[in-house]
Amino acid sequence: MVPLTGFLRARFTDRKFPLAVTLCLTNRCNFRCVYCHMPGTKRSELTTAEWLSAIDQFRAGGMIRCSLMGGEPLLRRDVGEIIQYLKQNGVHSAMNTNGWLVEDKLDDVAKLNLVCVGLDGPEAIHDEQRKRQGAFRRAVRAIELLLGRGVEVVTMSPVTPASIDHVDSMLTMAKEMGFRAGFQIEHDAECDVRNPIGAGLSDERLVELAEHLLRRRAEGAPIAVSKTFLETFAARGRRMVSSCSECRVPSYSCMVRPDGMVVPCFLTQHQGPMLSGASLGYLRAFHDIAHPKDAGCSSQPLMEMNYLFGLRPAAVMNALRLT
């Protein structure tokens, strides 16, 4: 279970605590997804020792949860060492992956508390959007293997014009296999949901989806999206669910890019200026970094974290289910 005592401590003080940290281990990826900007972004990468030092510093500052992402984090040869280090230091650890390399590194990945596997829709849609033949079958195989090892699995499906009509098939698969399905609005190469890839989806169509997911959730469908987020989205009637000025996430969380730069979150990493944790120290960089400007947000994972830090009951219950 995610240790909520740390969140409560942070919520009722005026101090910043790096409770939930995302380490973007690499921008390298073995896929070329149509909606992703990462593979085209070249950055240097921290060494193993530098990543372990970053973990030590954040742990000393109060980190209780760490998420590993990329690119594709399993392309790092030292990913097993990083996972083991988090585990031995008592950090709740999670990873985002496309699933392709999970079977090859199963013993390492199985040590994680939570794994989020990208799953765009049925096989033809998934492989087309991922630009990799066989990607769907490898993702499903990864889910099967992880569930077989007792790892909590959620999926994340970018909601695109090609996939939006297949939401129910994803929920059927989730129920049959035993995972929870998450959904995220597509965005452009700069992580801006206002500029979706391709023709995009209207706000009205997305509101219809939110209302549909609320109904399916009430029916007991295994949806990894809180009632709070869906109700807020449906009520606002537009894809920008919140603003940076309303967001608590930068007070209790941050992301470290592959080159050691510390940013409030992946959606604001292009705003600048950013601070180098490798040079200044990660705690100083976290405490000194400015609150992001009002770029607007409809990132479901970030909004769930914002609700959690705000102690919204439905979001707290959702976090408790994501063990």
pLDDT in tens, 243-271: 777 788 888 899 999 999 999 887 777 66
**Tokens representing 45?**
């990468």
Residue 115 near residue 152 (C-beta atoms within 8 A): yes
Q: How many structural domains comprise the chain?
A: 1
Domain hosting 109: range is 4-321
Per-residue model confidence (pLDDT) at position 202: 85
Q: Which of 38-47, 83-92, 160-169 has the lowest mean pLDDT?
A: 38-47
- Band the pLDDT of 197: cuts 50, 70, 90: low
Q: Give the HSE-up count for residue 17: Cα atoms under 13 Å, Cβ half-sphere.
A: 20
What integer is the mean pLDDT of 115-125? 96
What is the residue-averaged pLDDT of the chain?
87
Query: CA–CA separation, 223 vs 49, rounded Å?
Result: 38
Q: What is the DSSP string of 102-137?
A: TTTTHHHHTTSSEEEEE--SSHHHHHHHHT-TTHHH
- The whole-model pTM stands at 0.89
Say how many Å lie between the first and final Cα of the chain, rounded: 4
- Pick from 145, 218, 221, 150: nearest CA to 183: 221
Consecutive H or E run containing 66: strand 65-69
pLDDT at 128 over 80: yes
Per-residue model confidence (pLDDT) at position 317: 67
SS3 30: coil
Per-residue pLDDT of 274-316, as tens digits, reads: 899 999 999 999 999 887 776 667 777 887 877 777 776 666 6
- Pick from 203, 123, 98, 209: nearest CA to 164: 209
Residue 131's domain is classified under what CATH number? 3.20.20.70
Q: Give the HSE-up count for residue 239: Cα atoms under 13 Å, Cβ half-sphere.
A: 19
Residue 6 near residue 240 (C-beta atoms within 8 A): no
Between 227 and 199, where is the model more confident? 227
Chain centroid to Cα 86, Å, comes to: 18
pLDDT at 112 over 50: yes
- Band the pLDDT of 2: cuts 50, 70, 90: very low
